[in-house]
Each structure stands twice: as C-alpha cells, then as structure tokens.
Amino acid sequence: MDTLGPSPFLWLELDKNGAIDPALAEKLASLLNQPDMTDLVVMSHGWKNTKDDARKLYGTLWANARKKLAPEKASHTVVAGVVWPAKAYRTDFDTETLVTGGGGAQAADGTPAPVKDLAEADFKDVLADFEDLFGPDGTATAERARAAAETLDETTALFLVRRGNEAIGSPRSDTELKADAEPISLATEDANSAKVLMEGLVPPPTFNLESSVGEAQGLGDFVSGLISGPRAAVARFLNQLTYYEMKKRAGIVGEALTKSVLSKLVLQQPIRLHLVGHSFGARLVAAAANGLAPVPKLEFFSLTLLQGAFSHNGFAKEIKPGLAGAFPDVVGKPTGPICITHTHNDLACTLAYALASRLSRDIAKSVGDANDEFGAMGANGPQHLKAGQAVEDDTDAVFAPQAGKVNTFLADKYIIKTAASDAHNNVDNEDVGRLLAKIVG
C-alpha cells in the first residue's frame, strides 16, 4: 500500500476524456472501510504537472498539514491524488514580456526597445507545446499555423479559426466556456471575419493597470508588450486554444471524478470528504463538487481552492440577469467550509489567465482585478455571491474557516515568489498546510 506519511494514499489517474480504471473506486472504498478511517482528502494538481510533480505537491502539502494535525487524525485519513493530462506549455509570452521588459524596456542607447515579432525559436516552442497537448489532433493545426506565420491571409486565418472552434466544441452548460467560444464561433462565418480576428492578435496588448495589480507585479502605471507580428498573432491564438482546452479538460475530468469514483463508493462507515485543487485543478474539483449528489455515508465536508485558475464568477447564481457562473450549485453543498486563497502576487492568475481568456483584445484598466469579467478566482476570490455567503480573512494567516460559508483568504503574505517557486505554485508551504489542517482537523 502506498502512503503519504501515516496516511494511506491512492492514485486516481484519469485521461483527457475522464476515463478511469473502474477498479479504483473499489480500491478507494476498501481503504476507507478499514477500521477507524474518518476522512478522505482528494487533491488535484493544475497545469504543467507531471505525475512526479503531483506527487511532490501532494506529499509536501500534506506533510505540512500533518504538522498541525493530531497524529491519529492523519493515520485515519486516506489521501487520493488525482492525475490528469495537464501537459506543460508556456503560460503567455505577452505576460512574460510585460514583467521582464514591458513599458519601460530600453535599448542599449537608452531609446525605447523596438517592437519585433516573436523569435523563430520561441514560435517553434509554441508549436511543439501545442502538439504535445493535443497529440495527433494538433498536427494539422500546427502545420497550418506555420503557414499562417509566413502569410496571414484569409485562407490560413479561416482554417485556424475553424480549428479553434472545433477544439472548443459547443459547451452547453459551462458559461465560462461559452464566453470563450463565442468570438471564435462568430469568426468562422466567413474568411474575412477570420482574418480580422487573427489580425487583431498581431499587435501586443497595451493597457493601463489598476494600482493593486501593477504594484503587486512591479509593473508601474503603464505597461506595453513588445512583440508584434504574424508569428506573434498565431502563437497568441494557439496559446489561447491551449487555455480553452485545459479549461474544458479540467471540467470533464472533474465531472468524471464524481461520476466514476465518488458516486461509486460503497462505504461501511461515515467518511468526510475534502476536495482540494490547485490552479486548473481547482476548476477540476469545483466541477466535481458541482455535480456531486448525496452518497450514502459520505459527507461532503469541505472544498479548498488554492490559487484557482478559473473565472472568479464561477460560483455565482447570477452574474447578470439570465447568466450564472459555470458551477452555480457549489455554494451551500459542503457541510463545512469552502476555502479560497487569492493574491495579485500570482502572475499566472492575475495577468496570464486574464490575457489568455480574451480574444477581443479589449484590454481595460481593470485587467486581472475584481472588475475584470475575465478575472481569475486565484487573483480576486469569488465575485457576485449573494450577501452573507462569503467571509473575507485578510489577517496574518490566523485561519478560522467558518462552516457553511465561502471563506476567502487574501494570501499576499504567504503565497509569494521565492527562490524556488513563483507565487502561483507556492501553495504547498507551511502556512497553506496549516490552513488545510484547520479545514480537515
């Protein structure tokens, strides 16, 4: 039997379509039905994670949580680690430019740095990452992308836009994916519309940032990307398709986790369920929670989202008249707390997510913050909840999560960039472990 310290551990490996070995539900139930077992913690990783990466995340986070748990609690808790195909790809080269050279970048003679197209080597990396993520389905798209980078005409633009439309599919209930799909779907109607959309991705994003975002990222008041050209346009489009695919895949796998594992558990004693997700893994466990129906002897106790890379409107019953979030049935389901960390220290959630979620290029002053319709949960916490549903904790990591509430934790002081990690991935530290211990314990 595999373990994380004194806790029994089981891998739950799902493919991109949510398929999983049916025997794993029985194996998990067998672990939970051992004498004195009381809790099940299911953890999910996010983007750029291999199985080894996931093992390190789960092991380190749980080790830090165990420091604050009674020894018998850890030995009476089963930990299940989700593994899903969230392959490595760059977050967003525009974001990297904004942080390392945007706005204030200068050439050696002190003049503004020249605007130039994406380097050929970087473009090849984008194509390789795209093919790695999509497999054989991405080969034809990558070939046309090479052609479009040389000549961005109506023919190449229409092929790419239609391929993008196919990749996103026709989401019915996921309002976040519907918003992603609409501009691409409209551009498939004729070649000129497709060309206009692709040409809109040629110039770099230029925008004013609200001070809360700008100060957190050290960007100043005005920033501008320096990459412009057909290679940049094609790379931006492919990068956005990878985000759309990861959003979609996280939802599919999360629904399958509930349908094929959690709902299949046959338990002989009461067990409390805790769902924990990081980055796109937070979207995965949110999808699992949204679709979870009552299971005999399984108490859905808590949901923990660590720097969630999905819409900050995801839990809203009503964003505006007639429009709900992607997971409107989550709030109120757990008998214990929903806990969400957020900080603008997190570049991936605050800027990369907000940029990669929009094709319109309508970069507003509020990009990445709570007023941005494309803002992320891990940047701002949940938005558009009903009065009284959320409790904000912005203290020095005291951590007192309230049952029945959405507890949001401003993590500016403990989810930070370090020598070993960027802020987005620094979610397995001792402070976050202590938060998880408060939730589980």
How far is it, in rounded angstroms, from Cα 326 to Cα 345?
A: 25
Asked if pLDDT for residue 363 goes beyond 60, the answer is: no
pLDDT at 173: 61
pLDDT class of 84 with cuts at 50, 70, 90: very high
Angle among Cα 85, 91, 95 to the nearest 5 degrees reads 170
SS3 263: helix
Positive or negative, the CA dihedral 168, 96, 408, 256 is: positive
Q: Tell me how far CA of residue 433 lies from CA of 48, 92, 147, 295, 363, in angstroms.
A: 22, 29, 48, 28, 36
pLDDT at 211: 46
pLDDT at 220: 43
**Residues found in the chain:** 441
pLDDT at 133: 84
Asked if pLDDT for residue 224 goes beyond 60, the answer is: no
How far is it, in rounded angstroms, from Cα 120 to Cα 8?
A: 48
pLDDT at 366: 63
For the ranges 153-167, 222-236, 331-345, the maximum mean pLDDT occurs at: 331-345
Tens-place pLDDT, residues 198-216: 998 888 766 555 545 555 5
Lowest mean pLDDT among 169-178, 236-245, 262-271, 275-284: 169-178
Question: 159-171: b or e for each residue (b if 16 or more CB lie within 10 Å)?
Answer: bbbbbbbebbeeb
Q: What does the pLDDT average to over 321-343? A: 95
Task: Kindly state the tokens that stand for 141.
Answer: 């798209």
pLDDT at 222: 41
Q: What is the three-state SS of 190-238?
A: CHHHHHHHHHCCCCCCEEECCHHHHHHHCCCCEEECCECCHHHHHHHHH
SS3 39: strand
pLDDT at 103: 44
CB 388 within 8 A of CB 254: no
pLDDT at 371: 80
Tens-place pLDDT, residues 368-416: 788 888 889 999 999 999 999 999 987 777 899 999 999 999 999 999 9
Q: What does the pLDDT average to over 325-346? A: 96
Asked if pLDDT for residue 226 goes beyond 90, the answer is: no
How far is it, in rounded angstroms, from Cα 231 to Cα 223?
A: 21
How far is it, in rounded angstroms, from Cα 319 to Cα 321?
A: 7
Which of residues 203 and 169 earns the better pLDDT score?
Answer: 203
pLDDT at 403: 97
Which of residues 169 and 32 earns the better pLDDT score?
Answer: 32
pLDDT class of 104 with cuts at 50, 70, 90: very low
Indicate the residue type of 3: T
Of 238, 234, 250, 241, nearest in space to 47 by CA: 250
Q: Tell me how far CA of residue 206 lies from CA of 43, 114, 115, 237, 365, in angstroms.
A: 37, 15, 12, 17, 10
Task: Kindly state the tokens that stand for 412.
Answer: 């500016």
Q: What does the pLDDT average to over 72-87? A: 95
The percentage of residues in the chain with a pLDDT greater than 70, rounded to a whole number, is 85
pLDDT at 359: 66
Per-chain mean pLDDT for the chain = 86
Indicate the residue type of 308: G
How far is it, in rounded angstroms, from Cα 230 to Cα 232?
A: 5
Structural domains of the chain, with CATH? 3-87+251-344+374-440 (3.40.50), 93-246 (no CATH)
Lowest mean pLDDT among 24-28, 122-126, 385-389: 122-126
CB 145 within 8 A of CB 234: yes
Tens-place pLDDT, residues 30-43: 999 999 999 999 99
* Residues near 2 by beta carbon (within 8 Å), at least 6 away in sequence: 8, 9, 10, 11
pLDDT at 275: 99
Asked if pLDDT for residue 265 goes beyond 90, the answer is: yes
Q: Tokens 């990690």 identify what position?
A: 421
